[in-house]
Amino acid sequence: MENHIQIRNLKVRIGSTEIIKNADINIPDGQVTAILGPSGCGKTTLLRSMNRFLDLTENSRVEGEVFLDGQNIYAPGVDVTEIRRRIGLLAQRPYSLPMSIYENVAYGLRIHRVNQSKNLKPIIRHYLELAGLWDEVKSRLSDPASALSIGQQQRLCLARGLALEPEVILADEPTSALDPISAQHIEGKLQELKEKYTIVLVTHTLRQARRLADHVVFMYLGEVVEQGPAREVFDNPQMERTKAYLQGSIG
């Protein structure tokens, strides 16, 4: 089994605090890797290290390496926009862009000028279908995206990311801001998408992790405590902290 992303000796500082201490993590290809751990342990920070989003955090310093298909994304001269095209991000809260539903999905294509053809409609349709939103919006593609419900906007964000055919999807608690039905919807989509994409999922819902994850990384106070195949970590955790967390006594 290949590792799609390999993290080596990753240290992240924000200001003078070390947020991630020497992490070594393997994200296997074509699987769902769940990152678990109590609030504030650095899950979001870890995720943001994988698409160079820490570049946006003021006073942050990153040491170590993150390999995407063997290429260190922190190497000098790497094109950040290309990295972010290959690694999609589904944020905790959906932010639709100030344009129509159609243009939201087309946004990435236009930004990267990947498809110059006039009629993007079939492409837009495909990705809206993939995100499970097509039937709800097909009659109002030119309406402003802000008119959609939060749950629909999250699926729109998914379609926007998918349209660039990324290899990896990073998802940071993608269902935590949604109502239960919408959450199920998104979760179901991730379930389907794992056939084709490598997915890294941060979640606080252990049941969601059990349902979706093939691989688990457990973090505590900025350190990776345990990682491995989901079944092993869930059924037979090696470390005390993992056990305690899974039993619900920390976090």
Partner 1 sequence: MVKSPEKVEDDHAREAGKVLASRQRAERRASFEFRALSTLPAALFVVILIVLLVRAWPILQQKSLVGLLLGDVWRPSEGQFGFLPFIAGSLWVTVLAMIFAAPVSILCAIFLSEYARPTTKALIKPLIDILAAIPSVVYGLWGVLVIVPWVQQSVGPALGRWFPFLPLFNSSNPTGYSILSGALVLAVMVVPFIIAISYEVMRTVPRGYHEASLAVGATRWQTVRYVVFPRVAGGLIAGVVLGTSRAFGETMAVLMVVGNNPIIPHSIFDAAYPLTALIANNYGEMMSIPLYDSALLASALLLMLIVLLFNVFAALALRRATAREQA
Kindly list the residues in this chain that would bind partner 1 in the complex (CB under 8 A). 51, 53, 56, 58-59, 80-85, 88-89, 91, 93, 95-99, 107-108, 111-112, 144, 146, 157, 160-161, 164
Q: Which of 57, 146, 184, 205 binds ligand ATP (CB under 6 A)?
A: 57
User: Could you give the strand order of the β-sheet that contains 71-72, starting from the edge strand earlier in sequence?
Assistant: 17-28, 3-14, 60-68, 71-72
Under the criterion CB under 6 A, does residue 40 sit at the interface with ligand ATP?
A: yes
Residues 7-36 within binding reach of ligand ATP (CB under 6 A)? 14-15, 19
Beta-carbon-side half-sphere exposure of residue 174 (alpha carbons within 13 Å) = 31
Under the criterion CB under 5 A, does residue 44 sit at the interface with Mg ion?
A: yes
Distance CA 70, CA 101 (A): 36
Q: Which of 39, 116, 119, 142 binds ligand ATP (CB under 6 A)?
A: 39
Distance CA 163, CA 186 (A): 16
Under the criterion CB under 6 A, does residue 154 sit at the interface with ligand ATP?
A: no
- Of 43-51, 67-75, 127-135, 143-151, the window that binds ligand ATP (rule: CB under 6 A) is 43-51
Nearer to Mg ion by Cβ, of 44 and 104: the residue is: 44
> Hey, what are 198's tokens?
């490598």
Which residue number is nearest to Mg ion in terms of Cβ?
44
In sequence order, what E strands does the chain have?
3-14, 17-28, 32-36, 60-68, 71-72, 87-90, 168-172, 198-202, 215-220, 223-229
